[in-house]
Amino acid sequence: MKIALAQLNYTIADIQGNSNKILSAIQGAKEQSADLIVFSELAVCGYPPDDLLDYPHFIDACKTAIESIAKACHGITAIVGCPMENPEETGRRLYNSACVLEDGKIVDVIYKTLLPTYDVFNESRYFEVNDIFKTVEIKGVKTAITICEDLWHEMDRFDYQDNPLKLVSVHSPQLIINLSASPFNHGKKEERMEVLVKQSKTYHLPLVYVNQVGAHTDLIFDGSSVVLNGQGEIVHQSASFAEDISYFDLAEQHPVIKAGDLDHIAELHQALVFGIRDYFGKMGFKKAVLGSSGGIDSAVVQALMSDAIGSDNVHAVLMPSQYSSEGSVSDARFLSEQLGNTYTIIPIESAFRAFEGGLSDLFKGLPFSLAEENIQARSRAVYLMAISNKLGYILVNTSNKSEMSVGYSTLYGDMCGSLSILGDVFKTEVYALAKYINRDENRIPDTIIHKAPSAELRPDQKDSDSLPEYDILDTILKLYIEEQIDPELIIQQGIDRDVVNKVIRLVNNSEYKRFQAPPILRVSKKAFGRGRVMPLVSKW
């Protein structure tokens, strides 16, 4: 049986556009004499559609689309992900489904059993749990069709009560197919392969895994579809972070492929550029604007934006204050010239003085404080948003995860933006990204990379004045936020108790700020936003 793996980039709710992609792939597979073409989870509507699934007319549109796609399936079988209601049940019984299309119609529908409700997933909010376990015969091959989580019954935190593959194995399947929408994060490819290899080896069956590719605001899907033989060995590997329609013949012998190791920072760079490009492309945005401070964060964002949407489409705004060093301005100017970006210099001292004058009666006799520092940050935001509104440039945010974790950012100031590029990237990783960006040439000046981090909102200010050194800070943050380790256990690793307690207190007290932050490109296993939902009012 010749199988086409259709790893496509869908747009959520673009049912017609997604259907056209699916139909085009089916036609191409027919021309290649494929017997079967497999698409990813919820391909018709894109994953995740969230509360659109609560709209009956949205479900009706998906059903109409899958019926139309089925009409094109003559001489080929297609398996397409789509939300479907079970017509044999009363009430609104919606399932995450894999539709088997053949001879111009829907010949079978397989429902998803395991509905993830952790991290970024919330499928139990919308779907019912499958309780029917069967195989589907495709070209004489008894096939176990599963959907994403159905292969992940053993989790680190818990075991699901049901094991869908074990339940369907009583019907003696000869092939496992999995339609997936598994988002990217660092380490996910390795974790995913462990699951696939284990399932293939356990049941001694070849496994065809087709994953979605593309970015949907914060979630980035890497694709990386694979085929495993009955010994759990990789015999086919699709591209990562790119659409890929590839073909695999089960009847032929295929050499074993060794899984490649990609450097963490190289993969991080690839994921961020891909996420930016897809966000701008799907939203129809052409140009970006950002504040360029001469610091490491804005420099890395500026380079990533240039790689993602083109240097000509990135405009940097240099907004020195009376506390900015001359080096910061010259570094920011040189960076724009190196990257080929246009830039504007707008000093903010006059705006800051105007605000000071307006508040002079109310603030009379009070010392310079955080209020004056934040006025500067918010003055910059006003300029950036004015440029965005007037010229149609989309403002991108430059804050990193370390700063967002401890509230080292200003609401309605440097937290502004339509998309947070580095909000899931710790400061130490930002430096590593800068070095990676400079791997072939010094696009980011060394003076920026080696400069002591500073917000430059008061004389001689340094981040280290109020925060631990970033290597210590990031260690604490990774353990507490991403590994969810008890603070006492962090202290036992040899980190000063007062430092740990201070950092944890800052994290917990800054939730109200993060609640108002822009969406963040997710690249870790625990990102702020939909993946870490915490109460705003809490005594924890």
Amino acid at 13: A
Q: Is residue 248 part of a domain?
A: yes
Among residues 2, 21, 41, 123, which one is catalytic?
Answer: 41
The pLDDT tens digits of the residues spanning 95-114 come to: 999 999 999 999 999 999 99
Q: In the chain, what is the greatest distance between 2 CA atoms, to the nearest angstrom?
A: 86
368: domain CATH number is 3.40.50.620
Q: What percent of the chain stands above pLDDT 90?
A: 90
Radius of gyration of the chain (CA): 26
pLDDT value at position 35? 98
Whether 81 and 158 share a structural domain: yes
141: domain CATH number is 3.60.110.10
Q: How distant, in Å, are the alpha carbons of 151, 190, 228, 321 from that of 199? A: 7, 14, 10, 59
The pLDDT tens digits of the residues spanning 288-329 come to: 999 999 999 999 999 999 999 999 999 999 999 988 888 889
Whether 234 and 361 share a structural domain: no
112 among known catalytic residues: yes
Q: How many domains does the chain have?
A: 3
Compute the mean pLDDT over every residue in the chain, rounded to the nearest whole number: 95
Whether 109 and 213 share a structural domain: yes
Among residues 112, 189, 287, 427, which one is catalytic?
Answer: 112
Given the structure tokens 């079967």, which residue do they identify? 36
Domain that holds residue 497: 468-509
Q: How distant, in Å, are the alpha carbons of 51, 178, 322 from that of 76? A: 33, 18, 69
Mean pLDDT of 30-50: 98
- Decide if pLDDT at 158 tops 70: no
Q: Is residue 532 part of a domain?
A: no
Of residues 80, 88, 72, 70, the one with CA closest to residue 110: 80
Give the H or E element holding residue 363: helix 349-363
41 among known catalytic residues: yes
Whether 497 and 421 share a structural domain: no
- Phi, psi dihedrals of residue 413, rounded to the nearest 5°: -125, -110
Torsional sign, CA 265, 266, 269, 270? negative
175-189, 273-287, 462-476: lowest mean pLDDT where? 462-476
The pLDDT tens digits of the residues spanning 333-342 come to: 999 999 999 9
Whether 28 and 134 share a structural domain: yes
201: confidence class by pLDDT, cuts 50, 70, 90:
very high
Among residues 62, 99, 148, 416, which one is catalytic?
Answer: 148
The structure's pTM equals 0.94
Whether 40 and 90 share a structural domain: yes
Whether 154 and 215 share a structural domain: yes
